[in-house]
Amino acid sequence: MKTTTFIFALLISVSAFASDKYTEQMSKHIHAVYTAKSVDEYQSAINALDRIALAEKTKWEPYYYSAFGNLMLATQTTEGAKKDSYLDLALAAIEKGKTIQANESELIALEGFVHMIRLTVDPGTRGPQYSGMAMQAFGKALGINPNNPRALALMAQMQFGTAQFFGSSTTEACGMAKKALEQFGSFKSDNPLAPVWGKEMTDELLKQCK
């Protein structure tokens, strides 16, 4: 009985160590994605996250941040084909993450962000398809977690851009952005690797609101 208890305690200890090691490594590479200043810096962090994803078969976070890194690269190029290429990589990572955690609000919100940036390659042609896909994803993410500030902030961004494109009122979008900003202030997660980005983007959007 004592031997069994010892083995059980040892297994728990090893599991906790592995979990702590995972969190430590992930935190390092998440920080690298958040602070990257060049394509090489982004790519280095993305490659590291992809390696972790291959090793950690039950974790969605490496796929999330790999996708986020590629999404950030897409926002920093004006070349349509290159933008689409980065977005393809981001979407592929999100889909892999969803096979692990299908109803993760953050993954679904990020998927909507991919659709939103895809639209910017050619708004006139892509608008009807990708605006709907983006809004549907944001709505689904908020349905899963109504307190997800990123989902609401991205929905506000999408709605604001659409209103500007058609010359209509941005009042609803601005109200949504204001609510998202409040949610950023109160957002809490039990997951130490939960995303924290989006507040600055929302601040910038609100500066455009009258």
Is 12 part of a structural domain of the chain?
no
Q: What is the pLDDT of residue 151?
A: 98
Of the candidates 176, 134, 170, 178, the one whose C-alpha atom is nearest the C-alpha of residue 156 is 176
Is 14 part of a structural domain of the chain?
no
Q: Provide the domain count of the chain.
A: 2
Is the pLDDT reported for residue 64 higher than 70? yes
Amino acid in the structure at residue 55 = A
9-13, 175-179, 202-206: least confidently modelled range: 9-13
Q: What is the pLDDT of residues 146-173, one digit of tens each?
A: 999 999 999 999 999 999 888 999 999 9
Whether the CA torsion 128, 133, 136, 141 is positive or negative: it is negative
| Mean local confidence (pLDDT), 98-113 | 98
Are residue 85 and residue 65 in the same domain, yes or no? yes
Is the pLDDT reported for residue 18 higher than 80? no
Are residue 134 and residue 190 in the same domain, yes or no? yes
Domain, as residue range, for 198: 105-210
Q: What is the pLDDT of residue 112?
A: 98
Q: What is the pLDDT of residue 19?
A: 60
Distance in angstroms (rounded) separating the CA atoms of residues 114 and 120:
10
Are residue 151 and residue 206 in the same domain, yes or no? yes
Are residue 128 and residue 200 in the same domain, yes or no? yes
Integer-rounded Cα Rg, in Å, for the chain is 19
Q: What is the pLDDT of residue 186?
A: 92
Is the pLDDT reported for residue 44 higher than 90? yes
Q: What is the pLDDT of residue 1?
A: 44
Amino acid in the structure at residue 138 = F
Is 91 part of a structural domain of the chain?
yes
| Mean local confidence (pLDDT), 27-31 | 96
Task: Encode 57-82: b = buried (16+ Cβ within 10 Å), e = exposed.
Answer: eebbbbbbbbbbbbbbbbeeeeeeee
Distance in angstroms (rounded) separating the CA atoms of residues 10 and 21:
16
Are residue 202 and residue 118 in the same domain, yes or no? yes
**What residues contact 167, with CB distance under 8 A and at least 6 apart?**
none
Are residue 148 and residue 63 in the same domain, yes or no? no
Are residue 109 and residue 202 in the same domain, yes or no? yes
pLDDT grade, residue 202 (50/70/90)?
very high
| Mean local confidence (pLDDT), 32-40 | 96
Are residue 59 and residue 116 in the same domain, yes or no? no
Q: What is the pLDDT of residue 165?
A: 86
Which segments of the chain does DSSP mark as H helices, in order?
2-35, 39-55, 61-75, 80-100, 105-119, 123-144, 149-166, 171-186, 199-207
| Mean local confidence (pLDDT), 76-80 | 95
Q: What is the pLDDT of residue 124?
A: 87
Are residue 32 and residue 44 in the same domain, yes or no? yes
